[in-house]
Amino acid sequence: MAKYKVTIADSRYPAYDEEKRVLEAIGAEVVVERSDTEEGIVAQARDADGLIVNLAPVTAKVVAALERCRCVSRYGVGYDNVAAAALKARGIALANVPDYCEEDVSDHAMALFLDCVRKISRKDRHVRRGEWNLTGVQPVRRIAGRTFGFVGYGMIARRVHRKLSGFGLGRVLVSDPVVTQEKAAEYGVETTDLDTLLRESDFVSLHAPVLPSTRGMMGAAQFALMKESAILINTARGPLVDQPALIAALKSGAIACAGLDVFEQEPLPADSELAALDNVTLVDHAGWYSEEAMVELKTKAAQNIADALLKGAPTYPVCL
């Protein structure tokens, strides 16, 4: 008989080999519940010692039904679909995987940035229609000597900065309340407030978390501050941006271009006005993805449970 039971409440992945490899090594039975309903999760997780979840709802009702659970491990960084307060009240640890895709998301931000600067996707669409000599209607500006602004300067932003180091930027501005002057000097950046960053940056990349203070932080007033030649990149979270305000800014030419991996509503509706705009690059929230990141994510999500069961605490606890 298995020493532990671990339920995976998820239907996103076709197989769970990495999770089973980690958990079966500690004597755990792994049960996959391919349901996203409260009832389905409770049926399989009621007597589980650990629960791994992706997008399925771990509501207060689900938490109340857990009889033996010691840890809930969330695939990825965010945990909006988990009733964190209910877990805390029950003394059940919550864990995530905050570091599995830093290289991948930073690569993705760089790809969106270069696509927007050099108009790659836009030119591709025009060339496929038989158009040529597009420089007059689609001006491209050199990166060297210009100003790059980071809204939020955590690990992913710092990786983007490292990857930008060979482009000869003139200045790098950072708006992040936790970056001290000492750290700014160490990183080779200038700290400033958001309004100044938006006014002075040629390129703005969002890397902030969604908090009450940051939700909708990029709205009409902020776009009005930006240069008409400015480019916005968002690989963080869709709710940071007031999407109708962004659409208006792109339509009016208040800013030149945007590269978006995340949106207020996902999947992006087929009739979204963004899809009709030529000066925006749209990706399906895939910045996190590489085959290597997938293996790392699944392994670490399972290791959280293994460590919680064997050592009393998960590898990556969420502090509540």
Catalytic residue ranges = 237, 266, 285
Please report, for residues 109, 142, 255, the alpha-carbon distance to residue 279 in angstroms, rounded to integers and kept in the order given.
17, 18, 9
Burial of 142 from C-beta contacts in 10 A (0-12 / 13-18 / 19+): exposed
**Residue 108 backbone phi and psi in degrees, to 5:** -65, -40
Asked if 215 and 239 count as a contact pair (C-beta separation under 8 A), the reply is yes
Q: Residue 14's CB: how many other CB atoms inside 10 A? A: 5
Element (H, E) at 53: strand 50-53
CB 258 within 8 A of CB 280: yes
- What is the rounded distance in angstroms from the CA atom of residue 72 to the CA atom of residue 65? 13
Write the DSSP symbol of residue 268: P
The distance of Cα 236 from the centroid of its chain, to the nearest Å, equals: 4
Please, what's the b/e burial string for 172-192 (b: 16 or more CB within 10 A of its CB; e: otherwise)? bbbbbeebeeeebeebebbbb
Those residues whose C-beta lies under 8 Å from the C-beta of residue 74, and which sit 6 or more positions away, are 52, 53, 54, 81, 82, 94, 95, 96, 97, 301, 318
DSSP-assigned letters across all residues of 168-209 = --SEEEEE-TT--HHHHHHHT-EE--HHHHHHH-SEEEE---
Rounded Cα distance between 290 and 273, Å, is: 29
Q: Under 8 Å CB-to-CB from 48, ≥6 apart: which residues? A: 5, 6, 7, 31, 66, 68, 69
